[in-house]
């Protein structure tokens, strides 16, 4: 399971580099929160439920694109869709995910590892890609350890957001000096 913090941080970072955070921070934060939406299924005591399938989000996006006349709404709906998609793709590489349910009634897990065996005079790279497919069953759990943040995730978050924080501090400092 990818920790909740990284599901939030990754779209926040990507969107902050694409858009002007000071102008679009409300949309960027909203979409970053939207990307943790799939994991709210744990509140119903089911993890990786239909909320981890691309199908319902695709239907919602299609309806918005068909009904909305605003190009801004259409654009930010696509951005939100991609943010949710980032959650599903990350989960696909960490455990069984019903990414195409109910069209494909199986959960899929793609595991990739690149390891180097280092000895005194040789370096042997080893590549491992494996696919696990299991029939999807949505079963309720009685208890579940939800990983909100790990030390690695916190370190990655700080590294990713540091330029953004520094930029905000610089903008604030120089604006104050100019006043």
Q: What is the CA 144 to chain-centroid distance, rounded?
A: 20
Separation of alpha carbons 148 and 89, rounded Å = 18
| Contact between 3 and Zn ion per CB under 5 A | no
User: Which of positions 8-47 make contact with Zn ion (CB under 5 A)?
Assistant: 38-39
Number of residues that bind Zn ion (CB under 5 A): 3
Residues 6+ away with beta carbon under 8 Å from 85: 54, 57
Among the listed residues 61, 91, 136, 153, the single contact to Zn ion using CB under 5 A: 91
Q: Of the two residues 47 and 77, which places its CB atom closer to Zn ion in the complex?
A: 47
Q: How far is the CB of 17 from Zn ion (least distance, A)?
A: 24
Q: What is the DSSP letter of 2?
A: -
Span of 55-63, 68-76, 91-99, 171-179 interacting with Zn ion by CB under 5 A: 91-99
Q: How far is the CB of 39 from Zn ion (least distance, A)?
A: 4
Q: Of the two residues 127 and 141, which places its CB atom closer to Zn ion in the complex?
A: 141
Using the structure block, give the residue that is written with the tokens 């989000």.
57
Q: How far is the CB of 48 from Zn ion (least distance, A)?
A: 6
Task: Concatenate the DSSP letters of all residues of 5-57 into one string.
Answer: HHHHHHHHHHHHHHS-HHHHHHHHHHHHHHTTGGGGGGGGT-SS-GGG-HHHH
Residues near Zn ion (CB under 5 A) are 38-39, 91
């Amino acid at each position: 399971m990818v920790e909740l913090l990284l599901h939030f941080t990754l779209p926040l970072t990507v969107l902050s580099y694409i858009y002007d955070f000071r102008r679009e921070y409300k949309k960027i934060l909203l979409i970053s929160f939207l990307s943790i939406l799939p994991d709210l299924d744990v509140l119903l005591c089911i993890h990786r439920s239909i909320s981890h399938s691309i199908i319902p989000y695709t239907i919602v996006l299609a309806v918005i694109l068909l009904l909305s006349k605003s190009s801004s709404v259409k654009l930010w709906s696509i951005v939100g869709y991609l943010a949710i998609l980032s959650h599903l793709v990350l989960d696909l590489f960490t455990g069984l995910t019903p990414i195409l349910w109910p069209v494909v009634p199986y959960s899929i897990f793609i595991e990739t590892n690149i390891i180097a065996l280092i000895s005194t005079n040789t370096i042997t790279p080893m590549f491992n890609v494996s696919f696990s497919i299991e029939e999807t069953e949505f079963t309720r759990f009685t208890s579940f350890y939800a990983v909100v943040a790990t030390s690695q995730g916190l370190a990655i978050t700080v590294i990713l957001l540091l330029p953004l924080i520094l930029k905000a501090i610089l903008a604030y400092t120089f604006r104050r000096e100019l006043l």
